[in-house]
Amino acid sequence: MAKPRHLERNGAAEGVKLPEGWVPTTLGEVCELNPPKPPRDLFEEDAPVTFVPMAAVDADSGTISAPEVRPFASVRKGFTSFRDGDVIMAKITPCAENGKAAVASGLRNGIAFGSTEFHVLRPSQAVLAEYVYRFIRQESFREVAAAEMTGSVGQKRVPVLFLNQTFLPLPPLAEQKRIVAKIDALTARVDAARARLAKVPAMLKRFRQSVLAVACSGRLTADWRDSHPQAKAVIDINGPFELPTSWSWRSAGDFYEDARYGTSVKCSSEKTEGIPVLRVPNIAAGTLDLTQLKYAELSKKEIAALTLKAEDILLCRTNGSLDLIGKAAVIPAFPRPHAFASYLIRLRLGSGLLPRYAHICISGPVGRDQIEARARTTAGQFNLNLEILGSLALPVPPLEEQREIVWRVEALFKLADTIEKRVAMATARTEKLTQSILAKAFRGELVPTEADLARREGRNFEPASALLAKVRSGASTPSLLETSRVAARTE
């Protein structure tokens, strides 16, 4: 047999030693690729069949989720056809690189039609559909497939010739079954771990909000106050809940030294000789993201009015999304002047309220509840203005306790950030573990070989070469007509 194209790039250089009983072949030799459509008279025109758009294939689980049902005649002509037991895979970018593939099962009348951007692999008697599916789910396979794509940018596709000539290590059928079962058992454990890890970010989000809530209620520093007695607060306004006696509810506007909107001058990412202008995308999770800066030419008057100083607070005032309204960050010291755009508001505080403590109040439930209640406009949009910000009721402790609160909150947030990074690393490792399991499976290292088991049990076994010989001799799987009519009779 001639050396298949892509042999070396699929990790199987010529002369590689496969496990006993295995045989080298190609996907095209053991699968019928993109088989013809069923005959027009297979069913009545209104017979229900499954319809699978690209979006119905889940790239993570490898399943066909929420398929549609359509009349046979309405989909036969313009779509890709496949049947129960076929393997479908996306051939167009980016779905192909993302691993969109599935084994078709449970189809109405045994057949389905779907996106023309699917390749169909119909396994012969020599190979299990589940074995083929897991083979093409390998990251190494997807990388080589992506490298072989043809077509224009954004419309690149995996050519059928690539599939036809892709090397496939073929074990005996009994061993294929054990390999598939072992992959499923191991990946189920990996998926369970990944599912548990996926819950952590939401838990950390709730943790951070809880920290902000207790920080602004006085509970976070209750022990601190026991050893740092303070005088009873004198100035107070009505607030949503009771505060420690040394705290007071104050209008946020009482502490504003300066509060203003930013510039509406057009910004560009190319004019880097201008003034960097912070925009809504630069405010991220309580910090600044300076990776997508834009620049503007500002007058001296605008520069004097809009230059940001260390400890200024920037807030998003409008963007159509309630989640973004009021999102804030405390400005660090910049080595060069930075301004801010009109969708942002700058707050510069005077004495009595630390900017980082104010940020905690605005970002926590006490500030968010007020902002969300007041920022909705009559048109159903969301807009935060200086009047709303000035009227916010903030729980204000003595300055010394504000500093303690800031220190404790930042320490707890740092702990949450560390956990989040570890979870992200663990999640990445689970994906590598899945790929490692697949790689071992197709090297014959995951389960005992059929040859070894046969020797232990004192029996003969059918090597994969015998299966392949049947395929080469013309033995075939049941026709679509046969399987579809059987399925129709059993519905």
Task: Say which residue the tokens 């390749």 belong to.
Answer: 119
pLDDT for 475 equals 60
Whether 110 maps to a domain, the answer reads: yes
> Position 73: which residue type?
A
Number of domains present in the structure of the chain: 2
pTM for this entry: 0.78
In a domain, 199, yes or no: no
Q: CA 408 → CA 215, 396, 422, distances in Å?
A: 9, 16, 21
Per-10-residue mean pLDDT of the chain, 491 residues long, equals 44 68 96 95 94 93 91 94 97 93 96 96 96 96 95 91 97 97 96 95 96 97 95 85 95 96 91 88 85 91 95 86 87 94 95 97 95 75 89 96 98 97 95 94 96 95 93 65 42 39
Q: Tell whether 216 is covered by a domain.
A: no
Check whether residue 168 and residue 237 sit in a common domain: no
Predicted pLDDT at 427: 94
The domain that holds 95 is classified in CATH as 3.90.220.20
- Residue ending a domain, among 397, 429, 448, is 397
Longest CA span, the chain: 97
Structure confidence at residue 421 (pLDDT): 96
Q: How far is 443 from 171, CA to CA, in rounded Å?
A: 10
- Contact criterion met (CB below 8 Å) for 307 and 337: yes
The answer on 240 and 166 residing in a single domain is no
Judge if 93 and 14 occupy the same domain: yes
Sign of CA dihedral 380, 381, 382, 387: negative
Tokens of 436: 């490692």
The residue type at 416? A
What integer pLDDT is reported at residue 378 of this predicted model?
54
Q: Token digits for 376?
A: 């909705």
Residue 55 lies in a domain: yes
- Say if residue 69 is in the same domain as residue 146: yes
Q: Are residues 166 and 244 in the same domain?
A: no
Tell me the pairing of strands 313-316 and 283-284.
unpaired
pLDDT value, residue 476:
52
297 falls within a domain: yes
Give the pLDDT score at 181.
Answer: 98
Tell me, what's the pLDDT at 287? 82
Classify residue 410: in a domain, yes or no.
no
Task: Classify residue 431: in a domain, yes or no.
Answer: no
* Domain C-terminal end among 397, 423, 443: 397
Question: Is-contact 397 247, C-beta < 8 A?
Answer: yes
CB 480 within 8 A of CB 111: yes
Same domain, 162 and 247: no
42 and 137 belong to one structural domain:
yes
User: What is the rounded (10 degree) CA torsion for 410, 411, 414, 420?
Assistant: -110
Residue span of the structural domain in which 312 resides = 231-397
The predicted pLDDT at position 235 comes to 77
For residue 369, what pLDDT is reported?
93
Specify the pairing of strand 339-340 against strand 248-251: unpaired
* Cα 225 to the center of its chain, rounded Å: 44
Intra-chain end-to-end CA distance of the chain, in Å: 44
In this structure, the answer to whether residues 163 and 241 fall within a common structural domain is no
Residue 243 shares a structural domain with residue 342: yes
Last residue in a domain, options 365, 397, 429? 397
